[in-house]
Each structure stands twice: as structure tokens, then as C-alpha cells.
Amino acid sequence: MGFSLYVTADRFNGSPVYAQVTQHELQRLDASITDQSLKSHLSANAPNLNNPSLRAGERLLVREVNAWVVQSVTAYRGYKTSAGSTGFHVLRLPDDKKIEATCFKGMSLDLKTPTTSTCNAKLKWMTKKWGNDAFHSDAEFVFSFGSKRCVGLTVRRGTDYKPHQTELQQFHTDGPIVRESMWDAQSNLVCNAAMLQNLSILTIQELKRCCQSRKLKTKGDREALIQRLSEWIQKQPEIPVPVHDTMFQSLSTLFAFFSDTALGVPRQGTRESLKLDIEMGTAVLFRFDFIHQGWKCVDDDPSLLPVHLRAHFYLFNGVLSELPVYDLEATLEYLSIVSHETIDDASGLQMLECLQTFVPSQHATHVGDLGIQNLDHVAASRQYALFESQQALSTHISEWNVAMQPCSSTKKRKLPEMSPPTSSKRMKEAPVQSCNKGDTCCKVAPTARISTGGLTKPF
């Protein structure tokens, strides 16, 4: 994607650091510019990233040894050092013209080593250069770009900060159950597929290239090309995320730090919810693709705790197409932060925002919301079952808890036919439990996935 750059006061590896100029920045930068030709150039080439659906987007051009690299703002290391490794980047443009440019394609499962593919990207320096005389002599400009998830500070009276009891969330999963079309089966980026997420900001040349690579007609104005691509996108089938052989390939954990902590699970044949109580000091484990909802903490009973903390732990499998992120930009931003050796508190919060595992209250409105889908069909497609009543769920949990208790006899203990969630303490005990004599005749090992949905495949 083409974009214009603005030289900053920073230097890295002995060269200036260039920042992408967007229409949002141009609104403020325009007042500092005196040269009309520079204004016209920036206005014609600066992309519009103000679309609320865009999670990020701005780029930096930073000098590496024998090359220039393009990276997300969050990957920049200039605030720590002025030289060395540029860190994670999405595009590398070598000085040697005989060497092809490379762009980001995917990551190793440990999210440490990027994989790249060759591309035809070129770095074109403007033949006309504007100097200090193109700006007001006293002009000073500070970029304000960055993650669109940054929230402006609001000040309220102390009396307004009263705790609010939590409500039922929408039914949701903590990870995607279908793969975005921009990823192939190996979780690598498909050529220019990510551009289709933001058709409104593409140039007409970029739209034509997207049409050409998909064997669509390239004639017509910008609006016609966007319409053509939009219709093509709507016709593409959804590709299910594979059902994993073990829940530990994508694991969610909800901890009970307070009393009355519970998880809402779908009731079979309805859109109603069953309450799975979590004993204080334990946690419930479930797969990323398990349908659930955060449970409200009180039922208008003033004697119960009015504040609730839903403390979560997530175990990601490193497959980019299965990360719970909004779009590719959020994925790149997440990887940019991970690439740093140390992460400060602000970056940690930003990573959490990249991982969109949070949903609003129970009222579902979007066509893709699970709350308005047939949950039995969704559960069956992910190979787990639902319970038909609160009693059935409670009975099953009781049977599982009994089966997980350490035994002192030599008799094998039979596990329930369907495996529910269990506490972290019980999970630790579950793989090997022997009798008091120390032999292994009465080992109790979980033979199935553990989720509120039940038994699927063995570990």
C-alpha cells in the first residue's frame, strides 16, 4: 500500500525515522505548512485511517543495516536506543536492487521468528524535496497517532465511581471458530488478501490489483471496484478453524477469586443459560471454541457481594489465524509488542486490547453474534454436547469431582462419560493419581477433552 512519509526528529542507525502521514494527522499538520505544493501532495496521498473499524494502521520507515524496513508504531525501538536491531517489521526493502523486497507472511508457533515472502514493493524517494522553508519558522508538530484503542482521559466526580454489578454477557467464544479468508490452511497470509478488510482506504490502482489477482474485471471507477470486491467477499465460504486434539492447544481459564463466581453455559435446545458455579479458590478450564457467557454476580440480593472480578488466563497456541483479534492490524500490533524483550504496563494493557476476548451485555444484535444462532448446531460442529437442564449439569459436575478425588484402593475409578470443566488444582492431580501403596494400579487420567460441553476425542 502506498503512503507518504514525514521526516521526524528521531534518528535510528544514523538515519532519520520517517512517519506515515494520514488524513487525521494532516488536519493539524496543515496549519504548519506554508508551501501549497506540499499541502496538495500530502492531501492527495495521505490515506484516510479515520474509519472507526480500523484498529491501527500507521507505519514508520526505519533504517536497518543495508536496508529500510516498514514497521508498526508499536514495534519501534527508538525510545530505548538509537541504533541496533529494528525488531519486528512487515516489509524490508534492501539497498541492493538485485535482492527482492520481502513482506511479512506468518510466524513460528512460539511467535519469535517471522516468515516472509518476496514481493514487488519499491521505495521511491520524491524527486522534489521540501525543506524548512516549506514550514512556518516557529512551527512544531507532535504526532498523536498510534493504536485506535487508546482511550481519552475523562474526569468525573469521585461520587460517580460507584461499583456496578456485572450483567450477563452475550454468548461468545474466546477465539474464532472460522478462519478469516486472508489466512491459508498453514496460517500464512494470502497475497494482498488483508487489503480486502479495508477497501475504503485503497487507491484505485490497489483495487485493480486486488480484482486482477481474483480474476475479476478491472474496469470501472473506484466505487465500482469496491462494489465488485465486496460482492466477491460475501460469496466466499467460511473456513472452520480445526477442532484440536487437546484443549491445551487453546485454553481459557476463569478463576474464582470471589464468592458467587459462575460461568453461563448454553442449555440444550434453547438460547437460555445454565449456571456453572465455580468454587472460590479454583478455576474452570474450557477450550477457546466453547460457547459461554460471563454470569451476573448478584440477583438483586444486597447481602451478596456487589462487585465481581472475572480473572482470566489464556493459553494461545501460536497459530495467528486463531488469535482472538479484530483484524490483521491488531495482529501486527500484538506481534510488534511481543517482539520487545521487555514489556511495560502500558504495552501489556495494549496487548490485552489487541486480544478481543471481551463482549458486551447479553443483548445480541449483530448477525454473527452467537446469541442469535442455533447454539446446538454450533456446539455439534465443534464436537461437544450441551446439557438439557441445570440438574443434568450439576449431576455431571458432581460425578466428575468424585472421579477426580485421590483414591486409596487398587480399584480403577471410572470417569464420567462426558468431561466437564475442572479446577486447576484438580487438573494438576488428574494425570497421575496412585493409591497409598505407591503403585499405579489406580491411576486416574483424563481420557477426554475437558469442557462444559463434554467428551470428544482423547488426549
Q: How far apart are CA 206 and CA 120, in angstroms?
A: 13
Stated length of the chain: 459
Cα-flanking dihedrals φ and ψ of residue 8, to 5°? -105, 180
Encoded amino acid at 9, one letter: A
Contacts 24+ apart (CB under 8 A), 300-304: 304/259, 304/260
What's the pLDDT at 425?
36
Per residue in 285-320, pLDDT tens? Answer: 888 889 998 887 666 666 665 556 678 888 888 888
Set of cell numbers at residue 162:
460507584
pLDDT band at 371 (very low <50, low <70, confident <90, very high): low
Is the pLDDT at 166 greater than 70? The verdict is no
Distances (CA, A) of 279 to 253, 283, 344, 404, 431: 13, 8, 33, 15, 21
Nearest to 370 by CA among 144, 97, 177: 177
Please give the pLDDT value at position 430.
Answer: 33
What mean pLDDT is predicted for residues 396-409? 71
Q: Quote the CA–CA distance of 191 and 171 in Å, as a whole number.
A: 34
**DSSP structure class, residue 82:** S
pLDDT higher at 261 or 201:
261
Tens digits of residue pLDDT in 92-141: 999 998 999 999 999 888 888 899 988 888 887 766 677 778 888 887 77
Work out the end-to-end distance of the chain between its first and last CA atoms, rounded to an integer number of angstroms: 44
Strand-pairing partners, residue 115, are 106
- Whether the per-residue pLDDT at 429 is higher than 70: the answer is no
DSSP structural state of residue 200: G
Q: What is the average pLDDT score of the chain?
A: 75
Is 60 exceeded by the pLDDT of residue 431? no
Report the range of poorest mean pLDDT among 116-120, 237-241, 281-285.
237-241
- pLDDT of 434 above 50: no
CA atoms within 13 A on the CB side of 212: 8
Helix (H, G, I), strand (E, B) or coil at 299: coil
pLDDT surpasses 80 at 341: yes
Confidence of residue 432 (pLDDT cuts 50, 70, 90): very low
Q: What is the pLDDT of residue 305?
A: 59
Cell of 278: 465455580
Determine what percent of the chain is predicted with pLDDT higher than 90: 10
Q: Where are the domains of the chain?
A: 5-134, 178-240, 247-381
H or E element in which residue 214 lies: none
Cα(415)–Cα(406) distance, integer angstroms: 13
Indicate the CATH number for domain 178-240. 1.10.720
Which of 12, 29, 15 minimizes the C-alpha distance to 4?
29
pLDDT in tens, 175-224: 888 887 778 878 888 766 666 767 777 778 888 888 888 889 999 998 89
pLDDT of residue 3: 56
Q: Distance of alpha carbon 422 from its chain centroid, rounded?
A: 26
Cβ-in-10-Å burial (0-12, 13-18, 19+) of 153 comes to: exposed
Q: What's the pLDDT score for residue 88?
A: 92
218: left (phi over 0), alpha (psi -120 to 50) or beta: alpha
pLDDT score recorded for residue 458: 27
Alpha carbon 95 to its chain centroid, in Å, reads: 34
Residue range 247-271: mean pLDDT, rounded: 85
Euclidean distance between CA atoms 364 and 241, whole angstroms: 23
* Candidate from 208-217, 405-414, 444-453 with smallest mean pLDDT: 444-453
Alpha carbon separation from 396 to 15, 55, 251, 419 (Å, rounded): 65, 42, 21, 8
With a pLDDT cut of 70, the percent of the chain lying above it is 71
Q: Who wins on pLDDT, 449 or 147?
A: 147
Taking residues 277-289, what's their average pLDDT?
88
CA–CA distance, 238 with 247 (Å, rounded to integer):
23
- Mean of pLDDT values over 381-388: 89
Query: Given this model, what pLDDT does residue 440 score?
Result: 26
Please report the pLDDT score of residue 67 as a whole number: 94
- Residues 6 or more apart whose CB falls under 8 angstroms from that of 453 comprise 265, 290, 291, 379, 382, 384, 385, 386, 418
Predicted confidence at residue 161, as pLDDT, reads 59
